[in-house]
Chains A and B, each alone.
Chain A
Amino acid sequence: MLEIRNLCATADHKTILKGINLKVGIGEVHAIMGPNGSGKSTLAQVLAGHPSYAVTDGEVRYEGQDLLALAPEERAREGVFLAFQYPLEIAGVSNAYFLRTGLNEIRKHKGLEELDAMEFLGLLKEKMKLLEMEPSMKSRSVNEGFSGGEKKRNEILQMAIMDPKLAIMDETDSGLDIDAMKIVAKAVNKFRSPDNAVIVVTHYQRLLNYITPDFVHVLFDGRIVRSGGKELALELEEKGYDWIKEEAGTLREARV
């Protein structure tokens, strides 16, 4: 469903992504790991269409379309969802209203009836229960005053409601306590289906104990330098990134 070829991107004249290649098939879960600053969030943001990043080379096919040619909101309506590493706050706009407006845009795009307030409330209640969220969270302003963990959980609530085809989770686990992580993982596993795909960006093997990935990739210095099965995550947990960095370094030297 997603094919990234030689994707290069810059921000502020700085080259961050230096030729990413990645194929995600329908029904798969891919984990992306890698040291701080390696470009994981940048990749996620570029896929979602953040205006701060300029794609300088490469292409991205999504469901047979040129993803990069679509505006961010069109990507969202086509089923690309990004759970942000740093969710934004919107003062004065209730969580429920925000979600319903977004969901209805997506439904409109799909040619479905918009949900009225009552129908939506039913859906929202069900998903909030799944995520074990306080009912009061729905009427609070979007992410305003939410704790770090609450924000992350709220992202997954949004994902559960929008029901995307491709969900990208950028470090959703950081900031979550152990119980919260289990709850979130449970929601993600419930969401997983043969009709969608998930990319999980994470630093920790722990999350992958609950959300079992089909593939694990290591991003370093703007490139995917290693890919493997779920064992790769265990190996990283044990050995850290040094050996990967070294390998990548030698590779690069060899290339020069």
Chain B
Amino acid sequence: MNTAPDTIEALANREYKYGFVTPIESDVIPRGLNEDIIRMISAKKNEPEFMLEWRLRAYRRWLTMEEPKWANLHYSPINYQDIIYYSAPKQKKPLGSLDEVDEELLRTFEKLGIPLEEQKRLAGVAVDAVFDSVSVATTFKEKLLELGIIFCSFSEAVQNHPDLVRKYLGTVVPYSDNYFAALNSAVFSDGSFCYVPKGVRCPMELSTYFRINAMDTGQFERTLIVAEEGSYVSYMEGCTAPIRDTNQLHAAVVELVALERAQIKYSTVQNWYAGDREGRGGIYNFVTKRGKCAGDNSRISWTQVETGSAITWKYPGVILQGNNSIGEFYSVAVTNNYQQADTGTKMIHIGKNTRSTIVSKGISAGHGNNTYRGLVKVLPKAMGARNYTQCDSLLLGDQCGAHTFPYMEVQNSSSSVEHEACTSKISDDQIFYCKQRGLSAENAVSMIVNGFCKEVFKNLPMEFAVEASKLLGISLEGSVG
């Protein structure tokens, strides 16, 4: 593509505007990982005994496990003893209410486009703001509580709703699930918790905004959402980090539980720092996300737009246990420069007449490498199960790669699994056509790419869709012409 390089270049090199560092004093613990560190984290959070026990079991399990090597990812080994596992901004007053949040933190979130003062917020969105290892504020808590909806930081949930946490923690992603999930279970510091009672339709979008600030720390958050019978909740998550030339580890776990007729929509716009043009720095994003459609007729949808991170390893899945339950996965993953993504989903059909839909759009530019890896498993009793998978790849330039690994295991004969895949390039002629209509090359690329992602974007809540489509333009800056 000889017309492209300039624009692709220009696109790719636009500044990452969230790359600043907040000068704030932090409460950090010593580097490295051992049982004492875990006890220290648990003590800092004043956790009940069952939590510490659980963490220690996870840690001991982790010690016996090996880092997975099957992903199509290449990175230098992570030294787990060189990471700081807990860092919290020192605040003058205890965390809790909004007017007690440190000015510097409020300003940071304001700068990120997430003002925490409720009067400034978009009316329809409640936010839990997580800064390094802790949640610093949650908005609209009281208003939601009037409906019986619990939306708070994970730490608060452990203090105030230990029974709920105990009942559901690890029921979808057990600590033994995989290496990173075990690590997270041992050291996780905060995250969001949400509980929607029976029959309640959550009237606003819930969201968590994750911000990594401190150097050399890992971020290990954990989110748990429980939707009781007949309830509905839409949840969004966003994230950013400063520009640094060393890599930082982010290993999160998200568990969703949908009971009978409940529906959970989970949307992510992942914009962790991606590293520079030469591939220096950036976040290593190793995340385990899974939902369980525990009740009949329940529904869980994952929509993700992954544009950041140096490395993304992430397979949000759904366990379709209830009869007639529905699992959906809509994904856009962008890799530019030296970014690598190995992402996809797992749909496990257990109940009868369960349905799943997978739409994955991978965009590669520069030297980026994008892999879709998905598993659709239909168990013998899942009679009448259906899956539809569509995996499309778009290549910008000729030094990037796209790979697709769809695994399918169908163990009964009344089910159907359908897979479609296609790889395309943006053609010079298409760009020329757009230019002939007055569009700049950048605009043309961004328009074509957005068109390519349309099926995914239309599943995002409005606030996010606009953001995502802008972000896509930015991540591809410098990719085509």
Contact = CB atoms under 8 A, between A and B. Distances in A.
B153 to A, nearest CB: 38
Contact of B2 (A48, A51, A141): A51
Contacts of A52: 428
A82 B436 CA distance: 7
Interface in B441-481: 441, 443, 447-448, 450-455
Nearest to A143: B433
Identify which of B3, B430, B433, B447 gathers the most chain A CB atoms within 10 Å of its CB.
B433
Nearest to B4: A51
B426 to A, nearest CB: 10
Interface residues of B, number: 25
B437 A91 contact: no
Contacts of A218: none
A141 B448 CA distance: 11
Interface stretch (A97-105, A125-133, A228-236): A97-105
Given A77-B438, A102-B438, A158-B437, A90 B3 contact: no
B440 interface: yes
Contacts of B20: none
A148 interface: no
A93 interface: yes
Given A50-B432, A84-B433, A73 B450 contact: no
A90 B447 contact: yes
Given A76-B436, A77-B438, A109-B438, A92 B428 contact: no
Contacts of A81: 436
Interface residues of A, number: 33
B103 interface: no
A178 interface: no
Contacts of B433: 84, 87-88, 90
B451 A93 contact: yes
Nearest to B444: A73
Nearest to A87: B433
Contact of B429 (A77, A88, A93, A98): A88
A101 B448 CA distance: 12
B428 A101 contact: no
B198 interface: no
Contact of B447 (A72, A93, A106): A93
Interface string A130-147: 000000000001000000
Identify which of A49, A82, A92, A99 gathers the most chain B CB atoms within 10 Å of its CB.
A92
B451 A72 contact: no
Contacts of A93: 447-448, 450-451, 454
A90 B448 contact: yes
B439 interface: yes
Contacts of B121: none
A92 B436 contact: no
A149 B441 CA distance: 28
Contacts of B443: 101, 105
A88 B430 contact: yes
A99 B437 CA distance: 8
A201 interface: no
A16 interface: no
Given A51-B428, A91-B451, A141-B451, A71 B435 contact: yes
Given A51-B3, A88-B429, A98 B436 contact: no
Contacts of A103: 438
A162 B443 CA distance: 17
A87 B433 CA distance: 8
A89 B432 CA distance: 12
A73 B2 CA distance: 17
Given A52-B428, A87-B433, A88-B429, A101 B447 contact: yes
Interface in A1-60: 48-52
Contact of B432 (A51, A92, A99, A109): A51
Interface in A86-125: 87-93, 97-99, 101-103, 105-106, 109
A96 to B, nearest CB: 13
B34 to A, nearest CB: 51
Identify which of B2, B435, B439, B453 gathers the most chain A CB atoms within 10 Å of its CB.
B435
Nearest to A102: B437
Nearest to B437: A102
Contacts of A106: 438
Contact of B438 (A49, A76, A87, A89): A76
Identify which of B430, B438, B447, B453 gathers the most chain A CB atoms within 10 Å of its CB.
B438
Contact of B437 (A49, A76, A89): A76
Contacts of A72: 432, 435-436
Contacts of B440: 73, 105
A76 B453 CA distance: 27
Contacts of A82: 436
Contacts of A50: 432
Interface of A: 48-52, 71-73, 75-77, 81-82, 84, 87-93, 97-99, 101-103, 105-106, 109, 141, 158, 162
21 contacts: A48-B432, A48-B436, A51-B3, A52-B428, A73-B436, A73-B440, A76-B435, A82-B436, A87-B433, A88-B427, A88-B430, A88-B433, A92-B450, A92-B451, A101-B447, A102-B434, A102-B439, A105-B437, A105-B440, A105-B443, A158-B437
Given A49-B436, A92-B450, A101-B447, 13 more contacts: A52-B428, A73-B441, A75-B436, A77-B438, A88-B430, A88-B433, A90-B434, A91-B452, A92-B451, A92-B455, A98-B437, A101-B443, A105-B437
Interface of B: 2-3, 427-430, 432-441, 443, 447-448, 450-455
- Lowest 5 CB-CB distances: which A-B pairs, in order? A92-B451, A102-B437, A92-B454, A93-B451, A105-B438
